[in-house]
Amino acid sequence: MILHDFLPSGNGYKIRLLCARLDMKVILKQYDITKGETRTESFLAMNPNGKIPVLELDDGQCLSESNAVLLYLAEQYNSSLLPPDPILRAKVYKWLFWEQYSHEPNIASPRFWLTHNAMTDLKKQMLPDRIKQGHAALKQMEEALAAHTYLVGNTMTLADICLFPYTHVAEEGGAYQLSEYPNIQRWIKEIEDLDWFIPITQV
């Protein structure tokens, strides 16, 4: 399998982190999204949305949307990350859907704007509300992690692999201080201490 990716991307890192957890080897092909490298004809043939990550399977089929790729890999190779109990599994799905709507736009976008020279006048206007909503998202995670080691109980699930990437680098844009969220800090360390863990910068 080939993972078409941009190394600083949390969405791509989700898949790299899951592959590390599953002890799966994938070929990494990197693109610089700041230079339009995902807008070429060949890339758009893999993903008409023109975004990374894209997982190219051995038979040539291509899967896009990071959380859809996570679900595919977890269902194919490790069901323990998706609890058999339907209620617990639904809670995992809830976090995956919530991440794309309430977390990623408010945590990841400010980080990208502020670290990749992507700020515009419109984004400057949007930033205060994004930060406000980002704090609300972190507070929701903080409260969930006050009750359990991981987001869905005391066993790691796909929800943790999904939420870890952008959460652990939230401070990079300068908009958030994770010291305000001790349960999140504890959870981050819990994951970083796992023997299969790889950092976001690791190829």
**Res. 114: pLDDT tops 80:** no
Predicted model pTM: 0.92
Are 128 and 171 members of one domain?
yes
Model confidence pLDDT, tens digit, residues 166-177:
999 999 877 899
Find the helix or strand (DSSP H, E) in which 62 lies: strand 62-64
**Res. 184: pLDDT tops 90:** yes
Domain enclosing residue 166, as ranges? 80-192
Nearest to 164 by CA among 117, 198, 126, 203: 198
**How distant, in Å, are the alpha carbons of 15, 16, 84, 137 from that of 126?**
29, 30, 41, 17
Are 97 and 135 members of one domain?
yes
Judged by DSSP in three states, 150 sits in strand
Are 143 and 43 members of one domain?
no
**Res. 81: pLDDT tops 90:** yes
CA dist 130 and 51 (Å) reads: 21
Is residue 197 in a domain? no
**Res. 178: pLDDT tops 80:** yes
pLDDT for 46 equals 97
Are 36 and 120 members of one domain?
no
Mean pLDDT of 26-36: 93
Is residue 7 in a domain? yes
**Res. 147: pLDDT tops 80:** yes
Question: Among the three residues 78, 99, 127, which one is the final residue of a domain in this structure?
Answer: 78
| Tokens describing residue 39 | 């807008």
Which CATH number do you get for residue 126? Answer: 1.20.1050.10
Per-residue pLDDT band for 116 (boundaries 50, 70, 90) equals: low
Are 14 and 34 members of one domain?
yes
Question: Among the three residues 78, 110, 126, which one is the final residue of a domain in this structure?
Answer: 78
Beta-carbon count within 10 A of 87 CB: 8
**How distant, in Å, are the alpha carbons of 11, 27, 174, 179, 202 from that of 24?**
18, 10, 34, 33, 15
Mean pLDDT of 174-194: 95
Are 85 and 74 members of one domain?
no
Are 178 and 105 members of one domain?
yes
What phi and psi, each to the nearest 5 degrees, are found at residue 197?
-60, 140
Question: Which of the pair, 108 or 195, is modelled with greater confidence?
Answer: 195
Mean pLDDT of 151-164: 97
Mean pLDDT of 100-125: 81
Question: What is the chain's mean pLDDT, rounded?
Answer: 93
